[in-house]
Amino acid sequence: MNIQNNIPLAPLTTIKLGGNASQYITCTTNEDIVAALKHAQEHNLPAGQAGLRVHVLGGGSNTIFADNGFNGLIIHIQTKGITASADGTLTAQAGEGWDTVVQYAIVNNLAGIECLSGIPGSAGATPFQNVGAYGQEVAETIIRVDAINRQTLEQISFTNTDCNFAYRTSRFKTTDRDRYIITSVTFSLTPNGTPTIKYPELAAFVATSAPEASLASVRDAVLTLRKKKSMVVGSEDPNSISCGSFFTNPIIALSAFNALQQHSADKIPNYPAGNTEDGTLLCKLSAAWLVEHAGFSKGLERGNVGISQNHSLALINKGGTTQEILALAQEIQDTVQTTFGVKLEMEPIVVD
Ligand SMILES: Cc1cc2nc3c(=O)[nH]c(=O)nc-3n(C[C@H](O)[C@H](O)[C@H](O)COP(=O)(O)OP(=O)(O)OC[C@H]3O[C@@H](n4cnc5c(N)ncnc54)[C@H](O)[C@@H]3O)c2cc1C
């Protein structure tokens, strides 16, 4: 087992922030993952707690490490492989790049994840926050998630229902946070299916740029739209040194929204978001609208961090620190709360 010490974490993330990991291992097989977890269980921390702290890292596109790094073991998942069968069942190993999986599906004429083109990160992280964009989310097509229990080291499979998917969340992000390492994700895609074109911005773009609307042309359209917003990671684009959207769209009771709207001179964008178990109607607000109308514009700078010039929800690193980016996030959250009485939830995972 090749455990390395004192490894810089910033280069392993898209926002390029954070100090060093005291221990780090790359896992290219599921056996490597089990061995790394055993190592962590067998090595006590100086403070005497049972086991070394462990953090699981995929593509690092939704992760912000603390400036003073991580005192524990980073398990970097690098397992590769994609298989698909004639009925449209596609399985991706956790460390496979997500966009590679989308490309594979499109080349094999499998519909269901084409709108998720260009999202950075690994396939294994997609169930964690039920990755979504442009009218699709992975919860619509995932049929199975295979994982290893971090405590017992046993393998376990979850059905779609088991995962408790909801908007940008799942059991892996909430009730079972840090309990499992996802090893593979299986999707049920539609052979020779038609692309999903329901997101208004995508529909309008496709109508003019690619009226024949194949899976490939919808992928191209999504990539074009995403690049305009710096939502595709590229070394040539300083506005993509980010975690994508820093805040999720708030979901609040419709009654609370109506009260808010009454006191606002602007028409606040809102979308139906189902209801709670007790029947309370919910609506989703646009985090981007709230941020902009609370006074935070695209291109804003705070020291060495700021807001992307191309997307008001993307906080970007311009040679700054985690402390600076979290201070800006807090400033935005506080101002939105004071202005609209709405709490913005952070989307990236902060690891310290
Ligand atoms: C420019 C940009 C655009 C983005 N656009 C979108 C978008 O359109 N839609 C969207 O939903 N997200 C978007 N994101 C966020 C991000 O890409 C996704 O959340 C992605 O799924 C994170 O994958 P990752 O492998 O990089 O995860 P990481 O950042 O490595 O990890 C994120 C979390 O998942 C956990 N995790 C990772 N792998 C595993 C595993 N195998 N088992 C268990 N837990 C694991 C980690 O421990 C951590 O808690 C964007 C990010 C960027 C930088």
pLDDT one-digit tens code per residue, 264-273:
889 999 999 9
CB atoms within 10 A of CB 268: 16
- The sign of the CA dihedral 41, 42, 45, 47 is positive
**Backbone torsions φ then ψ of 214, nearest 5 degrees:** -90, 170
Q: Is the dihedral of CA 293, 294, 300, 304 positive or negative?
A: negative
Instruction: Please check whether residue 109 is in contact with residue 192, taking contact to mean a CB–CB distance below 8 angstroms.
Output: yes
pLDDT attached to residue 43? 81
Q: Is the confidence at residue 341, as pLDDT, over 60?
A: yes
What is the number of helices (H) and of strands (E) in the chain? 7, 21
Predicted local distance difference test score (pLDDT) of residue 17? 98
CATH code given to domain 4-77? 3.30.43.10
Give per-residue pLDDT as tens, 112-134. Answer: 999 999 999 999 999 999 999 99
Distances (CA, A) of 190 to 110, 203, 249, 334: 5, 20, 29, 44
Out of 117, 122, 137, 168, which one is annotated catalytic?
168
The gap between the terminal CA atoms of the chain, to the nearest Å, is: 25
Q: Is 297 tagged catalytic?
A: no
Q: What CA–CA distance (Å, rounded) separates 240 from 236?
A: 9
Instruction: Supply the residue whose CA is at minimum distance from atom 12 of ligand 1.
Output: 131
Q: Quick: pLDDT tens for 300-328.
A: 999 999 999 999 999 999 999 999 999 99
Alpha-carbon torsion 114, 311, 269, 287, what sign?
positive
Ligand 1: atom nearest CA of 14 is 53
Structural contact between residues 124 and 95, judged by C-beta atoms closer than 8 angstroms:
yes
Q: Which residue has the tokens 């294994």?
A: 124
**Residue among 278, 236, 280 at smallest CA distance from 258:** 280
- Calpha distance 113→124 (Å, rounded): 15
Q: Domain extents for the chain?
A: 4-77, 82-209, 251-351
CA–CA distance, 176 with 157 (Å, rounded to integer)? 14
157 and 136 Cβ atoms separated by less than 8 Å: no
Using the mean position of ligand 1's atoms as its centre, give its distance from the Cα of residue 123 in Å: 9
Q: Is the CB of 74 under 6 A from ligand 1?
A: no
322 near 65, Cβ under 8 Å?
A: yes
| pLDDT tens-digit map of 24-79 | 999 999 999 999 999 999 886 555 556 789 999 999 999 999 999 999 999 999 99
**Is there an atom of ligand 1 within 6 Å of 182 CB?**
yes
Spatial CA neighbour of 179 closest among 191, 168, 164: 164
The response to whether residue 9 sits with its C-beta less than 6 Å from ligand 1 reads: no
pTM of this structure: 0.96
Could you tell me the fold of the domain covering 82-209?
3.30.465
pLDDT confidence tier of residue 253, bands split at 50, 70 and 90: very high
Tokens of 133: 């964009």
Q: Which of 242, 245, 308, 312 is catalytic?
A: 245
Predicted confidence at residue 209, as pLDDT, reads 86
Helix (H, G, I), strand (E, B) or coil at 315: strand
* CATH class of the structural domain 251-351: alpha beta
Distance CA 296, CA 316 (A): 13
Residue 125 CA to ligand 1 centre (angstroms): 5
Q: Report the candidate in 115, 147, 153, 152 with the shortest Cα–Cα distance to residue 131.
A: 115
CA torsion sign for 163, 166, 167, 171 is negative
* Residue 179 bears catalytic tag: no
User: Average model confidence (pLDDT) for the chain?
Assistant: 95
Residue 50: what pLDDT? Answer: 60
Q: For 150-201, write each residue's pLDDT tens digit.
A: 999 999 999 999 999 999 999 999 999 999 999 999 999 999 999 999 999 9
